[in-house]
């Protein structure tokens, strides 16, 4: 009888430790996923700002010489704006859906979310340079 009880205690402890290890592994995967998405968003933001600066520089240069935008230049600017608008919207939607999914399933409490956010910030230092 004592042997069976001891056996079941050992099995139970192993099961609990296994669950904790799996939860920690999933936490790390979730952190990596969100850090990658956040890094992608930051890089996209930089691209948008650089493109906007190039457009402003071109428009200022033309205005300095009292030249209007050509139809081709105007079309190019519009296409660049459209591409960045679509990419930004798609990435924002992806981030929102991912966060909603993670918060609904895994990170329900304020403490869990704060720990998750802190881990993401730490991971961002590694991932997004």
pLDDT tens by residue, the chain, 129 residues: 554 544 444 444 444 444 444 578 999 999 999 999 999 999 999 999 999 999 999 999 999 999 998 999 999 999 999 999 999 999 999 999 999 999 999 999 999 999 999 999 999 999 887
Contact between 62 and 54 (Cβ < 8 Å): no
d(CA 123, CA 114): 14
pTM of model > 0.85: no
The CB density around residue 27, as the number of other CB atoms within 10 Å, is: 16
- The rounded distance, in Å, linking the Cα atoms of 42 and 38 is 6
Distance CA 35, CA 55 (A): 30
Q: What is the DSSP secondary structure assignment for residue 109, as one 8-state letter?
A: S
């Amino acid at each position: 009888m004592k042997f069976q009880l001891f056996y079941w205690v050992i099995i139970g402890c192993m099961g609990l430790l296994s669950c904790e290890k799996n939860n920690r592994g999933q936490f790390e995967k979730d952190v990596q996923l969100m850090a990658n998405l956040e890094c992608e968003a930051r890089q996209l933001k930089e691209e948008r700002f650089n493109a906007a600066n190039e457009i402003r520089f071109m428009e200022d240069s033309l205005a300095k010489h009292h030249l209007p935008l050509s139809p081709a230049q105007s079309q190019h600017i519009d296409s660049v704006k459209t591409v960045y608008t679509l990419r930004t919207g798609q990435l924002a939607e992806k981030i929102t859906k991912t966060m909603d999914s993670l918060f609904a399933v895994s990170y329900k409490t304020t403490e869990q979310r704060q720990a998750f956010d802190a881990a993401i910030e730490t991971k961002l230092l590694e991932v997004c340079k």
